[in-house]
Structure 1
Amino acid sequence: MAIYHLEAKMVSRGAGRSAVAASAYLSCSRMLNEYDGVQHDYTRKQGLVWQAVFLPDMAPVEWQDREKLWNAVEETEKTKDSRLAREFVAALPIELSRQQQIALLQKFVREQFVAEGMCADVAVHDTDGHNPHAHILLTVRPLTETGAWQYKTEKEYLCVKGGEERGFTAAEFKSAQAEGWEKQYQYKVDKKKVYMAPSQAEKCGYERVSKYPKSTKYGRQNPISARWNSEEHLLVWREAWATAANRCLELAGHAERIDHRSHAARGLEERPTVHEGVAAQALERRGILSDRCELNRQIKADNALLRELKAELKKLSDLVVHTVSAVAERLEKLRGRVLIFCYQLSHIRAGRERYQDALHVYRPQMARYNGLVRQIKDKSRERK
């Protein structure tokens, strides 16, 4: 059945990866990385179903050749730990036909990535016919209107003016300098190195010890790159994939739906399974137990036990509900009888009080009557 899986990861030189190698893998092709001269050959890899390159309007047309595209990325990134590309791996709903899966993927890539200005290298893999998934390789550096690469981060100089410190880029500093802002350099003050403006250092006669001005540690990030790299935008992409897949499932007449939220966010008590991966499944097919597969089996057994316990608890709850309603009905009847009995007792108690008041009135007369009766009896005995 349809499952939600959208894994996001970075292709970085710092992790020993290459954008050219990642593209060669997803397209099952042979490509030469001109940055380090390594040729990556994945022509023997099986399971490639469909592949395409999507470019925004400002990108050069020759980048339709994925080898030229990713070599251009490798050439632009200079540092040994540069982030070269962003990769998404998405599970395609198995209920959809192949044409529907590809149409879903194309629409999602164009709306969410190409419309933002990214170049996208996309492929669909399905080795055994039961695990259709898409690889989406995206550029991380924005493009200008002429198709040139923009900066990801720009150096930001910390300048001072009247005791206030503020950051300026190289382009901003030209106008800020006219307003009196100065860069700060290191000067030797006694045995310490202190950052200060050149005008202040000249007054005190300090000697400059470094030609590099004071700047922020990481510089100022491109606002477009900052949005692409934010956690909030990743959540937007995850939700957009679930929405697009559910829309296609609905149009195709399927009742299955996927949800991008976690079990905790959805209020589910069951534990989620972990991603097994091809390596773990290959071990299992060879009869070797994999830790990930064994963990998933335990999680599934725990979830089955949890569902069984919840079903038993529901039965007990229903029984208690029915029992409580019957007990409550009987208690209500008994309560009505008790109320009537209490009313009768109160009525009898009021009548008793009235009778006692009447007895207080008639008691002297009764005593006199009893005395007369005794006298009559005594006279009758005497006469006899």
Structure 2
Amino acid sequence: MGYFYFSSQILNRMNHSAVAAAAYRSGEPLYSERDGLTKHFGKRKVVPESFILTPKNAPEWVMNRERLWNEVEKIEKQKNAQLAREIRLALPNALNNDDQKELILQFCKENFSNKGMVADIAIHRDKENNPHAHVMLTVRPFNENGSWGNKRQKVNKEVNGVMKKVSIHLTNWNEKETLIKWRENYAERINEKLNERGIEDQVSHESYKNQGLDRLPGIRLDRTAFQYENRVKEQAIRNNVPYEPVTYYGKINEEIKQINSELNKINELKKQQVVSLSEFKNEKSLTEQIDAIRNSRKLNDTERKALSVVAQRAKSYVDYLVAKQVKDEIENGNWNKKINSDKLKIISEKNLLNKAYKVYQDDPKQVLKYGFSPSKFMDQMKEKVSQIKALEQKNMEDVTKLNMFLTKADQVLAIQSELTQKEFSVLYQSSNTYSADEMYHAVQYFKETNKILREDEVPDYAVSKYKEHEINTPSLAEQTRNISKSIFILDRAIRRQMKERLTALKEQNSDLVYEASRRIEQFRLQKDRHEKDLAGNVQLLRMNLQNKYYDSLDLITDVEVLLRLQDHQDKGMSSGSVERDLHEIHQEFTKEMNDKPMDNSFTPNQQVEHQYSQSVASGLFQALEQAQRANENKKHEKDPTEKKQRRRYRGQELDH
């Protein structure tokens, strides 16, 4: 089987100059209007053969290479715009130069210029055994009058059950199927030309696997690595020593050669004898067995659509970890938060309307403080109810859509968990039970290193990989402080909205009154939810602290005071006495507050922090006083001498 090479890449404006690319490939100096420089890469020992093929609607100036690519750079103005597509093709060594030229021109005309592209072709023969061609193609079609056409067009299209405006390509030049067809066509043209010349050799555009060949493909080295390996090989020949690869991929290619040699021997033996299924399985490499798991997994239409949705959302290839991340993002991401926020706004507005309606039944004039007019109350109420129903409908649609995505994410995660488990079973015949995360990371380790972890290393390795991507979860104290601050901020927000409502009432601005009332209701709902969360956290804090102090914490109600005691304990500074520790904390905090006086340069956030700190200082002072009183009372209760003195003072006799 002959050598076949066909690769494609996009040259974009961000990283490439179309003029410079054309100058290098053609060997001509070309002036670039984009930066005012002439692109010239020096003289070559073997001058490239270059040609330009044009479609029927193209203007005459496209035959001028310099103007062609400058015009391309003028029309493709976006920062990341595609300037050109480059196709690189190997030319068969078995053909002479004229045949090679005829082959490439015929192929480019049929597949590129006849389809509407300008094809700028350069044949390179710098290396005698490596003749190849570079073909730069325009990516924008021409109109019938010779002007540039559009690459994309916006159309109405159904996306996940919703009609949206989407941008579609007006040609099929970017599609994967088109690239595959070009590869197939080039292989066919090569084989036809070889047949014409009576050469028995053939090429194929398909992989060894698709050709049914039991061989591993080699890895194409980049130019630097290839030249370096050649120098090492020539030096080994001169020194009469065995050649050993030095680059990473050079070593891998050498291993692939050895494996292919072994496979050839096995294939020869297979021709002579029939092997059992188990023996054949053992002969296959672990990598092949793992690849076969995914390749052989057939998806039904529902699974295929689910996988497509998750892949589009992730914008990457989907495996177990990606599927898990997408599901987590749907469950806990900004989309779900917005839905819950909208739901809270709806509930707060419904509560407000219920309060206004009850007030209207008792005293119609009182509805003014909710932004309603007593004389138009029922009409205004109907309008508000109608608006809320529309919001509820929209919110329900969003919830339905989110749940649909979540269902698809669950399906894909189940598929990927199943595949991961099967891949893991190829590497480990284990009776131990591992989590899906542990199995995934063990399989990934093999795919990346071609090595297998010991079974006892699997859990620890998974933990280490998890920590690499772990988002630091706030501690109980951090969570509690954040909730406490949120409640403090919501209290301030409620007071501010009450002032705004009062001002709006004086100005008789009913819209502002209504909006302020709605926000008050919303902030109160948020505060109630935070207070429920806070109660559970405070209970855990008290239990933890009570084990460390011999005096009682029952009198301390301020959350921040409990948190300060917890911080004191975490730093190893706890004395075991609540009063003593509170005294130290109060002194430290007072010094800290004095070092940061309030001034006019504070931002709004800094002002809130300062006010919160003042409330903390007040809470610390009250807690310290309470602890001192409690300890004083406890001391008197336990002192028999003072008890007798008090009895004597009341005129009672002492006990004998």
**Superposition TM-score tier, normalisation by shorter sequence:** 0.5 to 0.7
SS at match of 1:44: coil
Could you say what secondary structure the match of 2:264 adopts? helix
Aligned in 2, Cα 1:165/1:273: closer, same or farther, shift over 3 Å? Answer: closer
What residue is the counterpart of 2:60 in the other structure?
Answer: 61
Pairing partner for 2:168 from 215, 218, 221: 221
Partner of 1:151, secondary structure, is coil
Deviation per residue, 1:34-61 (Å, 9 max, x gap): 1233432123344434111111122121
In structure 1, distance between residues paired with 2:168 and 2:96: 42
Matches within 5 A, 1:252-291: 252-287=197-232, 289-291=246-248
Match of 1:103?
102
Asked if 1:315 is matched to 2:272, the reply is yes
Displacement, 1:316?
A: 4.1
Can you give the 5+ residue segments of structure 1 that lack an aligned partner in the other structure? 159-163, 168-215, 319-384
Distance (Å, rounded) in 2 between the aligned partners of 1:289 and 1:228: 40
Q: Larger deviation: 289-298 or 39-48? A: 39-48
User: Residues of 2 paired with 1:149 and 1:46: CA distance?
Assistant: 37
Residue 69 (structure 1) shift = 0.3
Matched with 1:179 is none
Q: Which residue of 2 aligns with 1:241?
A: 186
- What is the CA–CA distance in structure 1 between the aligned matches of 2:255 and 2:123, rounded to whole Å? 31
When the two structures are aligned, how many residues end up with a matched partner? 260
Give the counterpart letter for 1:55 in structure 2: T
Tell me the distance in 2 between the aligned counterparts of 1:41 and 1:154.
37
Alignment CA distance shift 1:46-1:292 (3 Å) = farther
Q: Give the Cα separation in 1 of the matches to 2:137 and 2:45.
A: 23
| Native 8 Å contact 1:121 1:136 kept in 2 | yes
Take 1:121 and 1:38, find their aligned partners in 2: how far apart are those partners? 21
Q: Please identify, of 76-85 and 265-274, the stretch whose mean Cα deviation from structure 2 is larger.
A: 265-274
Corresponding residue number in structure 2 for 1:292 = 249
Aligned match of 1:13: 13
What is the CA distance between 1:310 and its match in structure 2? 2.3
Larger Rg: 1
Q: Check whether the contact 1:280–1:290 (CA below 8 A) recurs between aligned residues.
A: yes
Indicate conservation of the 8 Å contact 1:48/1:123, yes or no: no
Q: Which amino acid aligns with 1:223?
A: L
Deviation at 1:295, TM superposition (A): 1.8
Give yes or no for contact 2:125–2:131 (8 Å, CA) kept in 1.
yes
- C-alpha change, 1:297 and 1:48, in structure 2 (3 Å) is farther
Deviation for aligned residue 1:293: 2.4
Instruction: Give the aligned partner of residue 306 of structure 2.
Output: none
**Aligned residue type for 1:300:** K
Between the aligned partners of 2:162 and 2:184, the Cα distance in structure 1 is 41
Equivalent position of 1:119 in the other structure: 118
Q: Following the alignment from structure 1 to structure 2, what is the Cα–Cα distance between the partners of residues 19 and 272?
A: 32
What secondary structure is seen at the aligned counterpart in 1 of 2:173? helix
Q: How does 1:122-141 map to 2 (within 5 A)?
A: 122-141=121-140
Tell me if the contact between 1:2 and 1:94 (Cα under 8 Å) persists in the aligned partners: no
- 1:292 is displaced (CA, Å) by 2.5
The corresponding residue for 2:404 is none
Quickly say closer, same or farther: Cα 1:316–1:79, change in 2 above 3 A. same
Structure with greater helix share of residues: 2
Identity of aligned residues (%): 33
The answer as to whether partners of 1:2 and 1:95 remain within 8 angstroms in 2 is no
SS at match of 1:249: helix
Which residue of the partner structure matches residue 301 of structure 1?
Answer: 258
Once the two structures are TM-superposed, the CA of residue 111 in structure 1 deviates from its matched residue by: 0.7
Which residue matches 2:652?
none
Q: Which runs of 5+ in 2 are unaligned?
A: 233-244, 276-656
Give the TM-score normalised by structure 1: 0.64
Change beyond 3 A, Cα 1:166–1:310: closer
Q: Specify the code of the residue in structure 2 equivalent to 1:308.
A: K
What is the TM-score with the length of structure 2 in the denominator?
0.38
Cα offset, 1:155, TM superposition: 4.7
Q: Deviations over 1:207-247 (max 9, x none)?
A: xxxxxxxxx4xx422422xx111111111111100011100
Secondary structure in 2 matching 1:228: coil
Q: Indicate yes or no: 2:80 matched with 1:81.
A: yes
Distance 1:47 1:8 in 2: 24
What residue number does 1:44 align with?
A: 43
Shift of 1:317: 4.1
Q: Distance in 1 between matches of 2:162 and 2:13?
A: 35
* Alignment partners' CA distance in 1, 2:83 and 2:9: 11
Q: Deviation per CA, 1:115-140, whole angstroms, max 9, x where unpaired?
A: 00100100111112100101000000
Check whether the contact 2:187–2:204 (CA below 8 A) recurs between aligned residues: yes
Aligned residue identity for 2:77? K
Amino acid across the alignment from 2:100: Q
Say what the alpha-carbon RMSD is for the aligned residues.
2.2
Q: Distance in 1 between matches of 2:156 and 2:176?
A: 27
Q: Following the alignment from structure 1 to structure 2, what is the Cα–Cα distance between the partners of residues 309 and 157?
A: 57
Whose RCO is larger (CA < 8 A, sep 6+)? 1
Whole-angstrom distance in 2 between the partners of 1:221 and 1:35: 29
The correspondence of residues 322-337 of structure 1 with structure 2, limited to 5 A, is: none
Q: Which has the higher strand share?
A: 1
